[in-house]
């Protein structure tokens, strides 16, 4: 969860912590580094951003996880993982 998002060069937002980690590693930040971003909007609600697409605004009492729609983003790990040839 982050209320201070960073914009990636290719577009989309990720948490500032993930952007700082990418910078420290010398990598260009991508939305795959933070595929599910929760942005607080009030004391009881947040905006749910999935790989740069806003899914919904959730209240703390109405949020239900896990959500079937989040499973489509499992591929983020594969896109970020170094290839076995680079080890």
Residues of the chain where predicted confidence (pLDDT) is lower than 70: 56-74, 83-87
Q: pTM value?
A: 0.69
Q: Please tell me the predicted confidence (pLDDT) of residue 51.
A: 83
Q: Hey, where are the domains in the chain? A: 1-63
Long-range contacts of residues 27-35, Cβ cutoff 8 Å, at least 24 apart:
30/79, 30/80, 31/76, 32/76, 32/77, 32/79, 32/80, 33/76, 33/80, 35/73, 35/76
Q: Report pLDDT for 87.
A: 41
Q: What is the pLDDT of residue 68?
A: 61
Residue whose C-alpha is closest to residue 18's, from 67, 7, 10, 74: 7
What pLDDT sits at residue 9? 94
């Amino acid at each position: 969860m982050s209320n201070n998002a960073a914009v990636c060069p290719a577009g989309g937002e990720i948490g500032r912590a993930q952007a700082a980690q990418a910078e420290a590693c010398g990598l260009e930040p991508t939305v795959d580094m933070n595929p599910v971003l929760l942005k607080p909007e009030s004391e009881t609600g947040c905006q749910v951003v999935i790989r740069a697409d806003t899914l919904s605004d959730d209240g703390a009492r109405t949020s239900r996880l896990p959500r079937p729609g989040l499973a489509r983003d499992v591929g983020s790990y594969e896109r970020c993982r170094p290839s076995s040839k680079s080890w």
